[in-house]
């Protein structure tokens, strides 16, 4: 009878994606001085969401981790982490999480208004 709205499923998936990406970024920053470490990232949200819709009919999937150091200059110790790039990714990820939260708040307000509360 009560099915989750597609918009709330998408917001949940976006928040989970942002969380996984933030964890990957934190790992990259923690390994900024590790010799031979290669920068990692997660697949973009659009790819994850398409995969979620086709593979398991709307269930949440974990984003795939990919190596993200193509075309990046390596440091002398073979590390590919750029702290500036990771900071920019962290800001982008924060925006994604904030967007998911805004969607939750909007849907919550609409449901409360429709119930008269």
What's the total number of domains in the chain? Answer: 1
Residue at 16 is within a domain = yes
Q: How far is CA 96 from CA 29, 102, 113, in A?
A: 20, 10, 26
Instruction: Check pLDDT > 80 for residue 3.
Output: no
Residue at 32 is within a domain = yes
pLDDT of residue 13: 87
Q: How many residues does the chain have?
A: 117
Residue at 84 is within a domain = yes
**Domain encompassing residue 64:** 6-115
Where does the pLDDT of residue 46 fall: very low under 50, low under 70, confident under 90, or very high at 90 and above? confident
Residue at 78 is within a domain = yes
Residue at 1 is within a domain = no
Give CA–CA dist 19/3, Å, rounded: 25
């Amino acid at each position: 009878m009560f099915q989750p709205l597609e918009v709330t499923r998408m917001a949940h998936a976006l928040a989970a994606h942002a969380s996984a990406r933030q964890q990957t970024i934190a790992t990259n920053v923690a390994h900024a001085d590790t010799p031979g470490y290669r920068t990692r990232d997660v697949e973009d949200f659009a790819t994850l969401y398409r995969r979620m819709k086709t593979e398991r009919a709307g269930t949440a999937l974990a984003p795939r981790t990919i190596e993200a150091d193509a075309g990046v200059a390596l440091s002398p110790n073979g590390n590919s982490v750029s702290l500036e790039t990771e900071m920019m990714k962290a800001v982008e990820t924060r925006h994604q999480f904030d967007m998911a939260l805004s969607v939750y708040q909007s849907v919550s307000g609409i449901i409360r208004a429709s119930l008269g509360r």
